[in-house]
A and B are shown apart, each in its own frame.
Chain A
């Protein structure tokens, strides 16, 4: 007789249809008498049903009509790249282990001392010490050289080769290469049919060179989805505050959100100031991202600017969420104002809830100066916090008709006790509980009342 553990091991095989008839029979006999194993099998079947039920969008006839053409184009592109690559590399064949990487090193070394070496001897030749075995054509035009260098660079598959080359570029060319790279990037990212390999390489190297002049161009490159990830990497390396607006602009792209948060965090207060300034003066599209970032980065200094933005109807919900994420009780007065709009009251309550116990003194300090409606709002926010420190306020509120029901329900929820609306019983319980928990935070139980 098989036990449950063994059956559970076999259930998946049973479900996959892998078992022999005898094994199947044993399982089926066991299933008749075991609820647990039956539930386990049912769960497997349900998962299968769910997965089978997921529908994937069909494509149109037009899409399929173009498909073969697109494949042909891709093959043509791949052939073109391979041909170019072969031509460049041919001269090195057999002589060097990582031909492409070495070609780059040679090119790098020759940037400021143009040398032409040609196998047929058509042009003046000055042999390079590094290429004893094979003659190599080196172009004298520096910009052309860099452009070719990057084309090969982009075709390198091995990360370690790339890193070697990157450090070679930084060490041997440095800033001198930057103007050419910037101009090549400017020319290439504005082309309709971009050479993505080249653009990627240019951006990557400019990032390695920490070339500040390239920030605006790299920011422009981010408009192209295919260059966005490499651009963020480059902006990470350059660490220029000028890149902040661009990073904020693309914060809505979930593929790079984490990177953006990390980069902005690294730049500290200055970057935060930029975000605050975008909140005040940015276009609506970028402002939305700045609001979200203020919340995600918990930028306290953004609270006044968020208050200003919150007057714009479309931004209200986002501001409330951001204020909740910042989690600073200083935002309570703003939230009080926003809570006057019944359409967003639920969101305000959620934001206050996120702030937790720290919000209590801020919430309660306004009680006595408020009108009835505002006090009701404030009280409802207080009930969201579900913290024992709110108990005295809740008990006091039992005597106020409009707040009574909510106060009673929240008291029950927090304390797991039920004394109805009997304030005396609640105070008595609170006193006892307070004595049992003397060590708890200061201000745990106060006798203030929220009823004026």
Chain B
């Protein structure tokens, strides 16, 4: 059954069609959430499943012009932004975190994909975690989900200029945070 038929069937109350819809998109939803939560598996699971609850409640409002997956990304992003707003006051904790030292950076002499040490990967995830929610969403959609700026603009329902600005700010901050490894 194709996407449209699955949605139609699910709306008509066919539970198997709903399960099928979840199965089709659960990995995309989970792994996108995992990038937003900077690798926190528990948070990602909760976030992606909460997104499916929202999808279930609002399926009747889904407009088929855009891909279903992008709609799902939008719901996940909005849930994530709300989640971060709620826990924003906890963010001052970062000041207590100690900056790790002596981490081996990447070796850029190799091929297209550099192999990063586990410690360095954790460092990058930590730095990504400190990005504001929307910047992180734009960066994740562009870098990991392969969406173009135009598609991100439509998915998140924000202007093209805003997508560009968020992406640029995210990169600027990441470059600043990782400057010693980019030389």
Binding site for B on A (CB under 8 A): 12-13, 16, 18, 43-44, 46-57, 59, 64, 67-68, 70-72, 74-75, 78, 229, 254-259, 261, 296
Contacts and interface: CB of A to CB of B under 8 A. Distances in A.
Determine the main DSSP class of B at the interface with A.
helix
Given A68-B26, A71-B49, A53 B96 contact: no
A304 to B, nearest CB: 26
Interface string B165-180: 0011001001100100
B104 interface: no
Given A46-B108, A49-B114, A258-B90, A71 B53 contact: yes
Interface stretch (B30-38, B60-68, B69-77): B30-38
Determine the main DSSP class of A at the interface with B.
helix
A259 B92 CA distance: 10
The 10 closest A-B pairs by CB, nearest first: A53-B116, A71-B52, A258-B93, A46-B182, A68-B22, A68-B19, A56-B34, A53-B114, A43-B182, A51-B143
A253 B59 CA distance: 38
Nearest to B125: A54
Given A12-B168, A18-B149, A258 B182 contact: no
Contacts of A74: 49-50, 52-53
A255 B175 CA distance: 26
Contact of B27 (A13, A64, A256): A64
A52 B143 contact: yes
A254 B149 contact: no
A48 B96 contact: no
Interface string B109-144: 000111110000100110010000000000100111
B36 to A, nearest CB: 11
A67 B26 contact: yes
A254 B97 contact: yes
Nearest to B92: A258
Given A55-B121, A75-B53, A50 B113 contact: no
Contacts of B116: 50, 53-55
Contacts of A254: 93, 96-97
B103 interface: no
A47 B179 CA distance: 9
A74 B90 CA distance: 27
Contacts of A55: 116, 121
15 contacts: A48-B143, A49-B106, A50-B114, A50-B124, A51-B174, A53-B106, A53-B116, A54-B128, A57-B34, A57-B41, A68-B19, A68-B22, A78-B57, A254-B96, A255-B87
Counting chain A CB atoms within 10 Å of each CB, which of B19, B34, B182 scores highest?
B182
A71 to B, nearest CB: 5
Contacts of A50: 106, 114, 116, 124, 178, 181-182
